[in-house]
Amino acid sequence: MLKRVHFPSSPLPYLLVAPQLAITLVFFIWPASQAMYQSFLIEDAFGLGSEFVWFENFEALWADQHYLDAFLRTAVFSLLVAALSMGVALLLAGFAQRVVRGAMFYRTLLIWPYAVAPVLAGALWVFMFNPTLGIFPYFLDFFGIDWNHYLNGNQAMALVILAAAWKQVAYNFLFYLAAMQSIPNSVIEAAAIDGAGPGRRFFSIILPLISPTTFFLLVINMVYAFFETFGIIHAVTQGGPGSSTTILVYKVFNDGFVGLDLGGSAAQSVILMVLVIAMTVVQFRYVERKVEY
C-alpha cells in the first residue's frame, strides 16, 4: 500500500497526519477509553465518589430484564428494517433493470429519501400516521383498524420500522441496480434461449449472481438500523409507549443523558462498541472476498 516510488523520510508526513490523528485521539480514542473505564465504576448516590467494581455494571445489565428485552427488540427491529427495505429495493431494481430506456428516470425518482435526515423521515411518518389528523389512520378506519401509535406498542414499532425502511430503500436500490447492470448480458440471453422466462431468470440467474451484494447490504442495513435510526425513534415515539420501541442506541442515550446512570450507560456503550467492531470485521472480510469475486 506504500508507493514503490516515494518521498524521502522527513518530518513532513507527521505534520500531514497530525490533524487527523489529533481529532481521532481527542474525540474518538480518549472518549472511548473513558467509556470503557467508566463502565467499571459505580458512582455513589450523591455523585461525590465512585468505586471500582470490575464487571458489576455488566452483570447488572445481564440481569436486567429491560436491557435483555431491548437487545431482543433491537435484533427484531433491525432484521425487519433490513428485510423490508432490501425486499422492496430488490423488487424495484429487478423491474428497473428490465427497462431499456428510462431506468435513469426511475432512479432519479427513487433516490430522494436518501437525502432526508432520519429525524425528518420520522416527522413525515408521524404526521401521516397522526391518530387524529393523519391520512393513513383515516383510511385504516374504513377497515376497522383503530390506529394509535401513542397507545399501541406494536403499532408504534410498525411505524418506526416503516419510516426506517422507507429511508433506506433508496440506498439498497442503487446498489442492487448497479449489481444487476453489471451482470453480463450473454448470461441472461443464454438463459432466455433455453426458455427461461423473466421470473425464472430473476430467481435462477440474477438473484444468485448478486448474492454478494445482498450480503454486503445486509451488514450495512443492520449497522444503519442499529445506530442511525436514533433520530427516527426520538421523533416518532421517544422509545414509547412504555419501552416498546426502545432500541439499544436509544437506551444508551436515555440512561446516560436523562437517567444519568453513568456506569450503566458506559457499560452499554462498550457492548455497542463490541457490536460495531464485529459488524465492521464482517464487512471488511466480505470486501476481501468481493475482490476475488
Partner 1 sequence: MVENRPLTAILTHFMLMLGVIAIALPIWITFVAATHDAARMTQVPLPLWPGTHLWANLKQTLFGSGLSGTEGAPVWLMLFNSLAMAMMISLGKIGISLLSAFAIVYFRFPFRMTCFWMIFITLMLPVEVRILPTFEVVANLGMLNSYWGLSIPLIASATATFMFRQVFLTVPDEMLESARIDGAGPMRFFFDILLPLSRTNIAALFVILFIFGWNQYLWPLLITTDTSMTTIVMSIKQMLEAAEQSPQWNIIMTTALLAMVPPIFVVISMQKLFVQGLTETDK
Nearest to 280 by CA among 212, 222, 211: 222
Q: How far is the CB of 52 from partner 1 (least distance, A)?
A: 17
Q: For residues 11 and 18, give the distance between their C-alpha atoms in angstroms, rounded to a whole number.
A: 11
Q: For residues 236 and 19, give the distance between their C-alpha atoms in angstroms, rounded to a whole number.
A: 38
Distance (Å) of CA 189 to CA 76, 93, 176: 40, 19, 20
Collapse the DSSP code of 178 into the 3-class scheme (helix H, G, I; strand E, B; otherwise coil) and give the result: helix
Burial 122-131 (b: 16+ CB within 10 A, else e): bbbbbeebbe
Neighbours of 267 (CB within 10 A): 28
- Give the interface segment with partner 1, choosing from 11-19, 41-49, 56-64, 67-75 (CB under 8 A): 11-19
In this chain, which of 51, 59, 76, 95 binds partner 1, going by CB under 8 A?
Answer: 95
**Is residue 164 involved in binding partner 1 (CB under 8 A)?**
no
Q: How far is the CB of 94 from partner 1 (least distance, A)?
A: 9
Nearest to 121 by CA among 31, 234, 241: 234
Q: Which helix (H) or strand (E) holds 42?
A: strand 41-43
**Is residue 135 involved in binding partner 1 (CB under 8 A)?**
yes
Residues in 48-87 at the binding interface with partner 1, rule: CB under 8 A:
none
- Give the interface segment with partner 1, choosing from 42-50, 59-67, 134-142, 202-210 (CB under 8 A): 134-142
User: Residues 226, 81: contact at Cβ < 8 Å?
Assistant: no
Question: Which CB, 48 or 115, lies closer to partner 1?
Answer: 115
Label the pairing between strands 50-52 and 41-43: antiparallel
- Give the interface segment with partner 1, choosing from 41-49, 74-82, 88-96, 204-212 (CB under 8 A): 88-96
**Is residue 42 involved in binding partner 1 (CB under 8 A)?**
no
Residues in 193-222 at the binding interface with partner 1, rule: CB under 8 A:
198, 201, 216, 220
User: Residues 169, 89: contact at Cβ < 8 Å?
Assistant: yes
Q: How far is the CB of 46 from partner 1 (least distance, A)?
A: 19
Site string for partner 1, 261-290 (x = CB under 8 A): -x--xx--x--xx--xx--x------x---
Q: How far is the CB of 25 from partner 1 (least distance, A)?
A: 8
- Give the interface segment with partner 1, choosing from 2-10, 42-50, 59-67, 204-212 (CB under 8 A): 2-10
- Give the interface segment with partner 1, choosing from 12-20, 54-62, 71-79, 204-212 (CB under 8 A): 12-20
In this chain, which of 79, 111, 209, 282 binds partner 1, going by CB under 8 A?
Answer: 111
Question: Which CB, 246 or 269, lies closer to partner 1?
Answer: 269
Q: How far is the CB of 286 from partner 1 (least distance, A)?
A: 11
Distance (Å) of CA 205 to CA 22, 100, 103, 191: 49, 19, 20, 8
